[in-house]
Structure 1
């Protein structure tokens, strides 16, 4: 399933990322790597997501949230 389909409050584990290589590198620098545990904190007004990753809170746009594939943690 993709991260965008997860409801606020969900805890999921990142399985793979399908964004272009340059974006993938930036996401990896932020901690979005295979096996990372994410918490969906909420949805933005335009459809993006707020996620928790470790101690960080990160906003993702809709397209990026569709390109992050996850499984239940």
Structure 2
């Protein structure tokens, strides 16, 4: 019984220490914004129509995944 509680306590402490470290690593890696033209090329390769590609890339601009187009 004592051995089981020691194992359980060790698991809880290990999990508690690992969680903040994992979240800190995930936060420190920013996702780069992609170019609008690259988005249009990618959606074209996936077979989307031109109007749907523009809509799709505009939605990604709103979310911050794609840089706004330079015109």
Which TM bucket (shorter chain)? under 0.3
Higher helix share: 2
Higher strand share: 1
TM-score normalised to structure 1 length: 0.25
Higher CA-based Rg: 2
TM-score normalised to structure 2 length: 0.26
